[in-house]
């Protein structure tokens, strides 16, 4: 007896369940879609859902890095009822693949918060020059958001602070208001 016959010989309720299972499987196969989400913690899911509305997302399932990419993982939580969203251009040959410029590794890093204590030990003339250089690098609004602690300072931006301080001759400690472990968005 064939598999099809077994499903059809079962009760009416089992026929519907079997048919739905087969139909879903066929849709996944023919659509080429991977509808299963990776296993994430509740904390990770909450963070990705919060970012989904305003983060550059990616839906390239053929990319070899997609399962480790924050943009792809956040894309799994985009609201499907939205008429538009901000996404990676799938037709751009530079996107996707081993050398993707938009790849963001799924890892948590130490982010710094606030820079109000950075200038306390520093001479005024160095403080002024460093502040201007950081505003030039990040922009005035972003600089003040980071200085007040409204926006976290990622590792690349921490390197910018070190560069600005060392460039203007400050060899003292670089002190932040605090630190938090977070995703490297």
Report whether pLDDT(12) > 60: no
Q: Give the pLDDT confidence of 140-155 residue by residue, as tens digits.
A: 999 999 999 999 999 9
DSSP string, 156-169: HHHHHHHHHHHHTT
Tokens of 111: 């982010």
Element (H, E) at 69: none
CA–CA distance, 184 with 109 (Å, rounded to integer):
6
Query: What count of other Cβ atoms lies within 10 Å of the Cβ of residue 9?
Result: 10
Provide the pLDDT for residue 84. 82
End-to-end CA distance of the chain: give it in Å, rounded.
Answer: 55
The pTM is what?
A: 0.68
> Interior CA angle at 163 toward 158 and 168, to 5°?
130
Q: Picking from 24-28, 46-50, 52-56, 88-92, which range would have the lowest pLDDT averaged per residue?
A: 24-28
Q: What is the pLDDT of residues 87-119, one digit of tens each?
A: 888 888 888 888 888 898 888 899 999 999 999
Q: Which two tokens stand for residue 33?
A: 């879609």
pLDDT band at 43 (very low <50, low <70, confident <90, very high): confident
């Amino acid at each position: 007896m064939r598999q099809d016959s077994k499903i059809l010989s079962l009760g009416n309720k089992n026929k519907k369940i079997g048919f739905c299972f087969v139909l879903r499987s066929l849709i996944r196969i023919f659509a080429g879609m991977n509808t299963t989400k990776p296993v994430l913690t509740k904390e990770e899911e909450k963070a990705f859902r919060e970012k989904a509305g305003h983060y550059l997302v990616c839906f390239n399932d053929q990319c070899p890095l997609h399962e480790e990419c924050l943009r792809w993982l956040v894309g799994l939580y985009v609201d499907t009822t939205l008429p538009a969203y901000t996404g990676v251009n799938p037709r751009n040959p530079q996107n996707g693949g081993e050398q993707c410029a938009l790849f963001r590794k799924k890892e948590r890093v130490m982010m710094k918060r606030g820079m109000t204590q950075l200038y306390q030990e520093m001479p005024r003339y160095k403080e002024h020059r460093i502040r201007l250089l950081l505003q030039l690098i990040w922009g005035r609004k972003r600089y003040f958001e980071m200085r007040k602690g409204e926006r976290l300072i990622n590792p690349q931006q921490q390197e910018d602070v070190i560069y600005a301080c060392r460039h203007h001759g400050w060899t003292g400690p670089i002190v932040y208001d605090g630190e938090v472990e977070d995703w490297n968005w």
